[in-house]
A and B are shown apart, each in its own frame.
Chain A
């Protein structure tokens, strides 16, 4: 009897913590699953994307790592694992990623995708051609922010295309930089473009050079360069602040054809006034799709348009409901 009691007690001592662990594991897994929904969606699409199929295994590993992390943290802070106030952003992100992936799928099947004309991007060839005819250089300013700024990253895409053109035409290109990380990236981009154009011998490291980390010292250097060397074409594409108009006016005074592009709202009027063509906001991010005509990238632009249409509908619905005194709908999208 004594041995039976000990056996039952021993079993209970093992079973209760085991059950507790299982329950909390299920609980944790359920919450982690909801949090990782967005990430999982991205990982799913990885296996559907040919260029990333070889990375699918690694994605699964990263998913496991993330679940492990989630588990650790739900134990520590069970009430605040997921930022509920950002549920609106998660829903929009999921819809956004879904729309982009759907259109990428359509693009892969060969569906024709229309993208409207963007004058500033059509002018790139003309601008480089003008510099070639005049025998002067093309100046490319990638903005003043580092590579963690998405506008700088978008600028690198356009720089790649411009460098391919200058390599094909044998035109001199100069890319002065403010940030050392942008210098390293821009140099790699230009080098790759010259190789792609079949003119690696034309590439010189000095084409992509470093000026200074100070905003106005950089501006002074660019202004001086534009005034002294009078480049035929200036590209001012990326993230700009107070220096935008000083540079654009200097280029205008030097008689250069100027193509600008930024998503900084306060600087857009300056570029519109002082430059021949301006890429406004989203046009800057669409540049890579427009210039490369890659179906996969074009698909993502179409997905973006679908979300824009959905947002217009949401704004109108929110406006109507708020006017009728039902504020919860608008509140859900404006929280955080």
Chain B
């Protein structure tokens, strides 16, 4: 019974969502939207589970003086400060704005996010350096195509290689798009096949593996 109920729920909801895709009846559309709302509610209920896991994980690290335990202290302290200010804000402006919470969010959290995102530029440079080393024919084709596309995308490109803009357009719209569509069709079929396996209970990854 413990195994059958989740399989039954997966089957009923999965079948309903498939049917709802083809039906425009307000009751079906409404129920489908309710399922989406249900997911949000379940996520909200699961969030305390995440908070408990976070605190347990870092408490253990600090207690055992594991590698990076000082970072765990910063994580727990940051969590405590932000959560406290989010629940009880002592500094409220005349417009009712939570000054302390928003100040930390705007001046600490947002710049940290931007810093992480900006790291991507350096990562792309180091990955490109590795990828464009000409070791075989495929790597040579990759490098030549990349050079043409890079030149075609910058204003100076037309002076260095006049047909770079037209070549870039051809590379992006013909071989690149064809490969992308091939992958996309395969992935879409794979996803649909997996969905059918889950609906039928043949595969049960949410319960730790394949069916019996």
Instruction: Tell me the A residues contacting B by CB distance below 8 Å.
Output: 35-36, 38-39, 42-43, 45-46, 49, 51-52, 54-55, 58-59, 62, 66, 69-70, 72-74, 76-77, 80-83, 86, 89-90, 93, 96-97, 100, 104, 146-148, 150-151, 153-154, 156-157, 160, 177, 179-181, 183-185, 188-189, 191-193, 196, 205-206, 208-214, 216-217, 219-220, 224-225, 228-229, 242, 245-246, 248-249, 263, 265, 268, 270, 273-274, 280-286, 288, 292, 294, 296-297, 300-301, 303-304, 307-308, 311
19 contacts between A and B (CB under 8 A): A46-B11, A66-B16, A69-B25, A73-B25, A81-B24, A150-B191, A154-B205, A177-B50, A180-B49, A180-B50, A192-B208, A245-B120, A246-B123, A263-B183, A265-B183, A282-B190, A283-B190, A288-B203, A292-B210
Give the distance in Å from the alpha carbon of A82 to the alpha carbon of B184 in the complex: 27
Contacting residue for A39 out of B19, B24, B195, CB 8 A? B19
Taking a contact as CB atoms under 8 Å apart, the answer to whether A183 and B18 are in contact is no
Instruction: Tell me the B residues contacting A by CB distance below 8 Å.
Output: 4, 7-8, 11-12, 15-16, 18-19, 21-28, 39, 42-43, 46-47, 49-51, 53-54, 56-57, 60, 67-68, 71, 112-113, 116-117, 119-120, 123-124, 126-128, 130-131, 180, 183-187, 189-203, 205-212
Query: Which residues on the B side are within 8 Å of A66 (C-beta)?
Result: 16, 19
Taking a contact as CB atoms under 8 Å apart, the answer to whether B185 and A311 are in contact is yes
Contacting residue for A292 out of B47, B54, B57, B209, CB 8 A? B209
Contacting residue for A242 out of B7, B120, B210, CB 8 A? B120
Given A39-B15, A211-B54, A304-B190: A249 touches B22 (CB 8 Å cut-off) = no
Contacting residue for B26 out of A73, A153, A212, A300, CB 8 A? A73
Nearest CB of chain B from residue A270's CB, rounded to whole Å: 7
Taking a contact as CB atoms under 8 Å apart, the answer to whether A72 and B42 are in contact is no
